[in-house]
Amino acid sequence: MFKRLLWHLLNGNRIRLTVALLALTSGGAVVSALMNLEADINHRLAQEFRSLGANLVVSAPPAAGASAVSSGLIDASVMQVVEPLDSFGGTASPYLYVVARAGSAPGREVVVAGTWLDRVMQISPWWKISGDSSLSRADLTHCLVGRNVSRNLNAISGSTLTLYYRRQTANLIVAGVIDAGGPEDNQIFANLPVVQALAGEAGKVQLVQLSVAGSPDDIRAVQAELQSALPNLSVKPVPQITEAEGMLLHRIRFLIFSTGLLILVLTALCILATMAALAMERRRDVGLMKALGGSVQKVLRIFLAEVGIMAFAGGILGYALGMLLSVWMGERVFGTRIAPRWEVLPATLILMLLVAFAGAMPLRLLGNVRPAVILRGE
């Protein structure tokens, strides 16, 4: 009998129930898409910020009165400590800077950066290089030059460039020209041993730049681990990147949460309006049921079962549409496909059930229906 009555109710008001089902499906689709996107937002946002460059710097602690070129240098063996920490999923590269003269003697002053050329492109993926960018760190004969340096010294790919520093010289072949849109356009990049020999600072570097993958909390954890392993050095985050990432992540999560909450409230209001209309239409049915001996609990159980079936169906359909929506959003926003997550399905079903039962509050008014009044036709 229970199943027959439930089937009769589901078929008796198809238009209103279809509206309620569409509201639950739409709400479930948006909420499940937002939850699936939020679960992946840390990884995707970290990937986007990694393209902005290094976010941690290891250097000598600041010393008062340091003025010599060699001041603030640290031992290159620090890389033996940093590199095993590659479990952080990032990239590290040492740097040594000198202000040398380049070109025909006496040449123009230019900043020369010694680093690992095979790593620098990983730390700075936004660089555009015309020429050969696939240089290994063992290559001691080639260099990369910024576009301004290339223009001022007429140093194009394949040409030879002579560097002068104190009494040392280095002859390098220009492998490529860098277009970075920043101070790198005014610099020359060579492998670390070349600049160490030019500066007479064998086995020394000025700093180590790290590009750490992960959220701001992950970056702080790596910073604490490095600081513990290198107590005599300074391990500092790059504030422009780490603070911006944390702020943007917080704002995106707040936007996702507030949007999801708004969608749930609107869905509940739609269900509320639909159920209020159904409650008025079903007064006669309820009066007849109560006259035949049905208790208020049994009558409400039938209507709540109807609401539960709609919520379950709306949650399933909403999840399927939401996954398609999240994939589309991922491709539009991050340029990559976001994989659907099955753990979003139970969360969507629970939310739709809560919203549906919250919107079904007017059905409680059916318990106040008096059978005698209904049977008299009033």
| 220-276: pLDDT as tens digits | 888 888 888 888 888 888 766 666 666 777 787 888 888 889 998 888 888 887 777
Mean of pLDDT over the chain: 79
- The predicted pLDDT at position 164 comes to 92
- Residue 277: give the domain boundaries: 2-47+246-375
Q: What is the pLDDT of residue 67?
A: 37
Q: Parallel, antiparallel, or unpaired: how do β-strands 142-146 and 187-191 relate?
A: antiparallel
SS3 144: strand
Distance CA 54, CA 222 (A): 13
**Is the pLDDT reported for residue 8 higher than 60?**
no
Answer for the pair 162, 131: CB distance below 8 angstroms, yes or no: no
Whose structure tokens read 């040594």?
96
pLDDT of residue 366: 57
Residues 165 and 265 in one domain: no
Q: Are 191 and 27 in contact, with CB atoms under 8 Å apart?
A: no
Strands 56-59 and 108-115: unpaired
Categorize the per-residue pLDDT at 68 as very low, low, confident or very high, splitting at 50, 70 and 90.
Answer: very low
pLDDT, one tens digit per residue, over 168-213 is: 899 999 999 999 888 899 999 999 999 999 999 988 999 998 888 7
Which of the two residues, 182 and 62, has the higher pLDDT score? Answer: 182
Q: Are residues 272 and 339 in the same domain?
A: yes
Q: Is the peptide bond before 106 cis (omega within 30 degrees of 0)?
A: yes
From 63, 69, 66, select the one nearest 233 (Cα to Cα). 63
Amino acid at 286: V
Are 54 and 209 in contact by the 8 Å Cβ rule? The answer is yes
Number of domains in the chain: 2
Encoded amino acid at 12, one letter: G
- By the 8 A CB rule, do 109 and 236 touch? no
Among candidate residues 237, 269, 296, the one where a domain is terminated? 237
pTM for the structure as a whole: 0.62
Q: What is the pLDDT of residue 70?
A: 44
Give yes or no for a contact between 339 and 49, defined as CB atoms under 8 angstroms apart. no
pLDDT over threshold 60, residue 293: no
Same domain, 195 and 253: no
Consecutive H or E run containing 102: strand 91-102
pLDDT surpassing 80 at residue 123: yes
In this predicted structure, the answer to whether residue 369 has a pLDDT above a threshold of 70 is no
Which of 187, 8, 217 is CA-nearest to residue 100? 187
Confidence at residue 65, expressed as pLDDT on a 0 to 100 scale? 43
| Domain co-membership, 204 together with 103 | yes
**Do 69 and 7 share a structural domain?**
no
User: Per mean pLDDT, which range of 221-230, 278-287, 365-374 is the poorest?
Assistant: 365-374
Q: What is the mean pLDDT of residues 300-309?
A: 74
Residues 66 and 35 placed together within one structural domain of the fold:
no
211, 282: one domain: no
Phi, psi of 295 (to 5 degrees): -80, 165
The CB density around residue 354, as the number of other CB atoms within 10 Å, is 13
Q: Quick one: pLDDT band at residue 49, thresholds 50, 70, 90?
A: low
- Cα separation, 63 vs 73, in Å, equals 11
Residue 275, exposed/middle/buried by CB under 10 A (0-12, 13-18, 19+)?
buried
Query: Confidence band (pLDDT; 50, 70, 90) for 64?
Result: very low
219/71 same-domain check:
yes
Q: Are residues 75 and 204 in the same domain?
A: yes
Q: Are 287 and 369 in contact (CB under 8 A)?
A: yes
Among 216, 237, 258, give the residue marking a domain's end. 237
pLDDT at position 319, please? 92
DSSP state of 246: H
> Would you say 163 and 191 are in contact if contact means Cβ atoms under 8 Å apart?
no
* Structure-token match 């946002």, residue found: 45
Instruction: Give the residue from 185, 203, 237 where a domain finishes.
Output: 237
CA angle, 138 then 49 then 261, to 5°: 155
Between CA 20 and CA 35 the distance in angstroms is 22
pLDDT at 66: 41
Whether residue 163 is found in the same domain as residue 299: no
* Look-up of token digits 């509050």: 361
Does 348 share its domain with 323?
yes
Question: Are 315 and 195 in a shared domain?
Answer: no
Exposed/middle/buried for residue 372 (C-beta within 10 Å: 0-12, 13-18, 19+): exposed
